[in-house]
Each structure stands twice: as C-alpha cells, then as structure tokens.
Amino acid sequence: MGRPTIRPDLSALAGYHSPQVDVLIRLNTNEAPSAPPDGFREAVAKAALEVDWHRYPDREAWKLREAIASLHDVDPKQIFVANGSNEVLQTILLTFAGPGRKVLTFEPTYALHSHLTKISGAEVVQEHRNDEFELDPEIAVAAVKRERPAVTFLCSPNNPTGIVERRETVMAVLDAVNEIDGLLVMDEAYGQFADWSAIPLLSDDLPLVVSRTFSKTWAMAAARLGYLVAPEWIVDELEKVVLPYHLDSLKQAAGLAALDFVGDMDQRVSTIVEERGRIVAHLSDLGAKVWPSGANFILFRPPAGDGERVWQELLDRSILVRNTASWEHLDGCLRVTVGQPDENTAFCTALSEILGATL
Ligand SMILES: *Cc1c(COP(=O)(O)O)cnc(C)c1O
C-alpha cells in the first residue's frame, strides 16, 4: 500500500523551473534566435538515412571528438562528449563529487551546478559575488582553502549575470584548487561571446576542465550535445562513469555536420553582439541598471526595481523573458536573451511603453 520514498537527501529538492509558455517572442532561455543553416539540416537528414540503426553507436564518438579537438587545437583524447553540457557536468560530479564531498559555487551563478551536485549526493558550499556580481579573488581563494571542495565551479561568461570572469581571478582560483588537490570546472556555455577562454590554460598537470555546449552559439538546443576539453586522464575517468553508448549515432553525425558551418556560427555571434549593444543602450536610456554582458543575454533591473510587474506586462504582450526578480541576489531583476532584430525591437518598444507609463 505504501509508496516508496525518495532518498532523504533529495526530498527538499526542487526541480529545474523554466516555464515553456506559448508566446510569440521567446527571449527566456538563451537559445540562438535562428535555426542553423539549411545545409546543416540537409546534412543531418542525409546522415539519418545512412545511420546503421540496428547497430550501437561508436561508443568513443571518435570522429566527432576528432573534429571538436581540431577546432580547439587539442588531442581528441582530451575531448569528452555528452548529451548537453548538463550531462557533462553531471558526469564530472558523479566522478569527482558524491557523498562526503563538497562542491563550491560562487553565487549567483548557473543553478544546475548546485542542483546536479545535490543529485550526486555531495554537499553544496556557496560563496558570494559582490553587488556588481564580480568575484573577489581573495574571497574565492579563501573559500577554496577553507572548504577544500572536491569540485569548484566557475562560469564565464556567467549565467545569469553575463559577466566574463577576469583572467587573474581564474588563475588565482586555479592555483588554490591545485594546492588542495581539487578540480576546477570552467563552464563556458557562452564562451564564443567572450574575449578570452580558459582552454589555452589546459595542461596535463593542472586540475582544470572546460565545458562547452552546442545549445547556444551553435543553435542546436534541440540536439542536446555538449562537450568537455580536459586533460586526457580526466576524460578516461569520466568514460568509466558515463553510461555506455550514451551518445546516439544521429547526434554524433549532427555534431560533425555542425562543425562544417563554423563560419555561419561566427556570423551569428557577431550579429548577436551587435544587437546586444542596441538593447543595452535602450535599457540604459530607460534608466534601467544593466550589468555588462559578454554573452547572448542581458541582466537588468528596471528603474523602479519592479521586475515582477515588468515581466508580467511583457508577457501580456506575448514577450517572454526570464523572471529572475525573486531569485536570491537578483532582487527585481530580469534576464533577456538577445533575439532576432525584429524581436529585439519589439522588446525595446514594449519596455518603453511599460516604463513610460510610470515615468
Ligand atoms: C545553457 C547553459 C548550459 C547548457 O546546457 P546544455 O545541457 O548543453 O543545453 C550549461 N551551462 C550554462 C551556464 C548554461 O547557461
């Protein structure tokens, strides 16, 4: 008669909440605003006909790893691929965190880092950024030395703030993590928008890994594909933990096909950066507090700090942005993803109307 109970350490866990509402303009999940090129879709359709559907996929996903490796000028053995970077992060945590271990985050940051940590059975330790959402390297280093976490997360550009982590901060944290035999995970889901990446810092004797995704810049959120660039020995450990054949054949082919369109991706990035500038200027003109973004989204606080009302009034106009107004640290703030030019114009116009009414 009774129901089985879930693990007691998970009973207070809330699921991942990002409402999928049916609206005309969706600027809430940092997806790319347009589909990948036709040539990509044709290549995937062709690959679907050629897949050996009765056979298990290449377990090593070797061709895809070779192609990703050449993109970053590293060895294919340094690449671990998975179903979205969320599965990359989960595999890291199952391998290096787990019961009896700690994982350090610097809030506010990507909620999944804490969420996946708890699912792994490890303890989340949160240190905090200042009011401008910058990370003080001394505070970060002290936290690492005090807590001795098995895994430390940094996210650059950081979600939901958009801020690119300073190189000096990353170096200082990496030194401290190295000293305590921990692992530093750099989440670079928006790496292509930033002016620097931690990938060139990777070395066989440094405890640093960098995760990337096809969900954002590559306009492939539907495909669920992400990867890690890491020292080879770390990839070997992850391969022991992840499910065998976890990456299906069609997805491997889709990833390979995408890498033939690097030029289109670069073009998309520069269009988005231009549009981002236009939205930031408009938000500032309206008197909103805007944090400097190195990503494809912008965190802002409306002038009266009434993010909740502004979010609702945007939704009334069929424009959905991320409602972060009640999140810890983000009081009254909203996060808007850069969309297509006409969507951004619609967002700016709507915001002028909504805020004009109270000016
Ligand atoms: C969107 C996002 C991801 C992406 O996850 P996928 O599973 O690859 O779709 C990872 N990290 C951050 C910080 C993100 O914002």
pLDDT in tens, 23-81: 999 999 999 999 999 999 999 999 999 999 999 999 999 999 999 999 999 999 999 99
The CA-atom distances, in angstroms, between 8 and each of 4, 123, 349 are: 11, 14, 48
Q: Is 231 in the pocket of ligand 1 (CB under 6 A)?
A: no
Q: Which of 85, 155, 209, 335 to mutate to test the pocket of ligand 1 (most atoms within 8 A of CB)?
A: 85
How far apart, in whole angstroms, are the C-alpha atoms of residue 357 and residue 359? 6
The CA-atom distances, in angstroms, between 244 and each of 30, 86, 255, 304 are: 30, 17, 19, 52
Q: Is the pLDDT assigned to residue 358 strictly greater than 80?
A: no
Q: Which atom of ligand 1 is nearest to the CA of 215?
A: 9
Q: Is 155 in the pocket of ligand 1 (CB under 6 A)?
A: yes
- Tokens of residue 213, six digits: 């995704």
pLDDT tens by residue, 111-170: 999 999 999 999 999 999 999 999 999 999 999 999 999 999 999 999 999 999 999 999
Q: How far is the CA of 187 from the centre of ligand 1 (A)?
A: 8
Residues 6+ apart with CB under 8 A from 238: 80, 91, 92, 95, 228, 230
Instruction: Report CA 194 to chain centroid distance, whole Å.
Output: 13
pLDDT confidence of residue 12 = 80
Cβ atoms within 10 Å, residue 342? 10
Q: Is 213 in the pocket of ligand 1 (CB under 6 A)?
A: yes
Q: How far is the CA of 5 from the centre of ligand 1 (A)?
A: 30
Q: Is the pLDDT assigned to residue 284 strictly greater than 70?
A: yes
Q: Mean pLDDT score of the chain, rounded to an integer?
A: 95
Q: Is the pLDDT assigned to residue 216 strictly greater than 90?
A: yes
Q: How far is the CA of 219 from the centre of ligand 1 (A)?
A: 12
Q: Which atom of ligand 1 is nearest to the CA of 29?
A: 1
Q: Is 85 in the pocket of ligand 1 (CB under 6 A)?
A: yes
Unique residue bearing structure tokens 């069609």: 250
Q: Model confidence at 359, in pLDDT bands (50, 70, 90)?
A: very low
Q: Is 110 in the pocket of ligand 1 (CB under 6 A)?
A: yes
Q: Is 187 in the pocket of ligand 1 (CB under 6 A)?
A: yes
Which residue has a Cα nearest atom 15 of ligand 1?
159
Residues 6+ apart with CB under 8 A from 213: 84, 85, 189, 225, 226, 227
Q: Is 84 in the pocket of ligand 1 (CB under 6 A)?
A: yes
Give the global pTM.
Answer: 0.95
Q: How far is the CA of 291 from the centre of ligand 1 (A)?
A: 20
